[in-house]
């Protein structure tokens, strides 16, 4: 175990091909850990819910996203790119307010030093108008991109308010996968869990099983998502699924309380449960290291 | 009339977490089909609580007052889409007693997460 691992609270998740670090600092130890050849890292932020207002849930609703942007900018070793895995904005019935929130969100994240930023829609962004406003501001709802030997697939499981990917997108996915080698390094970015994490809490994708079945044809697939406002790690066959924390409020573990509701703000532990994370891709090994960062008051 | 219609008394019982709860109680539960009419609107079901008898068939008549909603009752593997101007009929036979949550599973707006209700099944 190297020094970096010794200094941190390392959570190893058996059989998942991933190591998760919980870091007490937002300064990535890039200076002490040499990046491997053929590896790179990116940052995942999620569920920023810009426009949310609820002082008992997050009295710093106007400041948390900005703190996260500042924290990412403060990383010694800047990531290759940043991804936002959905619920960029808080939903609203008002078309103008929806666009105002998206414009404000876009302005804030334009302050990131990293200029390659990938967006994924959440149901709060896209379900009420089937992604119309989202696409005006952030582009396509589903797409692919490649980076240093990893094939990224962005899936939309939110613009259909019934939380489905849909047959058309599924065919598009299958056509894309056919172009990839069996052992291609594939990372899926999406908002909702693709597996039935907790359907009664709306933590599922209606046709997620069909998506997973398609992905299982490839040997090295990892899914990164948001929506559930907490870390969660799960395997479906050989596919690893990792959810990210929110940058607005935390949610309880599924089934731990009778009714799903945001965890109230703690004056003793402000920003508890909120954060972002780095994902380092070790491309030759097809392995990923996740490093979690909290949000703190002074940042 | 062959079918015994169960008359439901919908009573507003108060406010809970700033949301009114409309509770329906069957004044008589016989052994023929129990009919429950549920209206969905942003962001509540009316009634949000109702009681039925185990082993007696239930007919849910679901309507929407405004937009597309969903009805999901996992305990009995039921779900339906609820759209305006359509009465969606769902039949089932409750085979276990207890309190079970149903919810809207079609994202309908800012209060979607709170749109749920409870069915109580008694002997």
Identify whether A78 is part of a domain: yes
| Chain A nearest CA to B105, separation (Å) | 7
pLDDT at A222 over 90: yes
Which range among A26-30, B18-22, B79-83 has the greatest average pLDDT? Answer: B79-83
Predicted ipTM > 0.85: no
Chain A, residues 116-145, CB within 8 A of chain B, namely: 123, 127-128
pLDDT for the residue A259: 86
SS3 for chain B is CCCCCCCEEEEEEEEECCEEEEEEEECCCCCCCEEEEEEEECCEEECCEEEEECCCCEEEEEEECCCCEEEEEHHHCEEEEECECCCEEEEECCCCCEEEEEECCCCCCCCHHHCEEEEEEEC
Yes or no, beta carbons of B109 and A91 under 8 Å apart: yes
Question: Touching check for B77 and chain A: CB below 8 Å?
Answer: no
Question: Looking at the partner chain, which of B72, B81, B109 has a beta carbon nearest the beta carbon of A128?
Answer: B109
Q: Is A260 in Cβ contact with B107 (below 8 Å)?
A: no
A180 in any annotated domain:
yes
Q: How confident is the model at residue A4 (pLDDT cuts 50, 70, 90)?
A: very low
Of residues B27 and A129, the one with the higher pLDDT is A129
A246 in contact with B, Cβ within 8 Å: no
Nearest CA in chain B to A51: B110
Q: What's the CATH code of the domain at A144?
A: 3.60.21.10
Residue A144 counted as domain residue: yes
Put simply, whether B37 touches A (Cβ < 8 Å) is: no
How many residues can be counted in chain B? 123
Domain count, chain A: 1
**CB-CB: which of B68, B101, B113 is closest to A161?**
B68
**CATH number attached to the domain at B8-122:** 2.60.40.420
What is the rounded CA–CA span in Å between residue A222 and residue A226? 14
CB A214 within 8 A of CB A177: yes
Residue A49 falls within a domain, yes or no? yes
In chain B, which residues have their Cβ closer than 8 Å to the Cβ of A94?
A: none
Q: Do A200 and B103 touch (CB under 8 A)?
A: yes
pLDDT band for position A207 (cuts 50, 70, 90): very high
């Amino acid at each position: 175990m190297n020094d970096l691992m010794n200094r941190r609270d390392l959570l190893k998740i058996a059989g998942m091909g991933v190591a998760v670090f919980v870091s007490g600092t937002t300064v990535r130890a890039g200076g002490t850990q040499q990046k491997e050849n053929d590896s790179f890292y990116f940052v995942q932020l999620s569920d920023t819910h810009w426009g949310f207002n609820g002082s008992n849930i997050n009295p710093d609703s106007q400041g948390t996203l900005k703190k996260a942007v500042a924290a990412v900018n403060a990383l010694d070793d800047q990531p290759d790119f940043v991804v936002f895995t959905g619920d960029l904005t808080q939903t609203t019935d008002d078309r103008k307010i929806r666009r105002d929130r998206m414009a404000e969100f876009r302005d804030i994240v334009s302050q990131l030093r990293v200029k390659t930023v990938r967006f994924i829609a959440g149901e709060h962004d896209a379900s009420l108008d089937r992604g119309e406003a989202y696409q005006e501001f952030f582009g396509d709802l589903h797409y692919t991109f490649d980076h240093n030997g990893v094939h990224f697939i962005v899936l939309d499981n939110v613009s259909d308010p019934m939380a489905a990917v849909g047959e058309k997108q599924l065919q598009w996915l299958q056509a894309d996968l056919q172009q990839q080698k069996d052992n291609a390094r594939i990372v899926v970015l999406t908002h909702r869990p693709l597996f039935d994490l907790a359907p009664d809490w709306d933590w599922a994708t209606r046709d997620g099983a069909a998506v997973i079945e398609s992905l299982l044809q490839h040997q090295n697939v990892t899914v990164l998502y948001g929506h559930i406002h907490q870390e969660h790690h799960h395997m479906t066959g050989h596919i690893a699924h990792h959810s990210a924390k929110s940058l607005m409020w935390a949610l309880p573990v599924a089934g731990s309380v009778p009714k799903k509701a945001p965890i109230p703000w703690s004056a003793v532990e402000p920003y508890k449960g909120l954060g972002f994370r780095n994902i380092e891709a070790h491309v030759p090994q097809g392995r990923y290291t996740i490093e979690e960062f909290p949000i703190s008051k002074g940042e | 009339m062959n079918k015994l219609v169960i008359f439901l008394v919908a009573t507003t019982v108060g406010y809970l977490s700033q949301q009114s709860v409309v509770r329906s109680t069957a004044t008589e539960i016989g052994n023929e089909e129990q009919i429950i009419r549920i209206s969905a609107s942003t962001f509540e079901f009316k009634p949000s609580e109702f009681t039925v008898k185990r082993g007696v068939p239930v007919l849910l008549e679901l309507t929407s007052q405004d937009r597309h909603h969903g009805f999901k009752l996992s305990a009995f593997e039921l779900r339906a889409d609820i759209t305006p101007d359509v009465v969606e009929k769902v039949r089932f036979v409750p085979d276990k007693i207890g309190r079970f949550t149903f919810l809207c599973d079609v994202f309908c707006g800012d209060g979607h997460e709170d749109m749920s209700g409870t069915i109580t099944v008694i002997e």
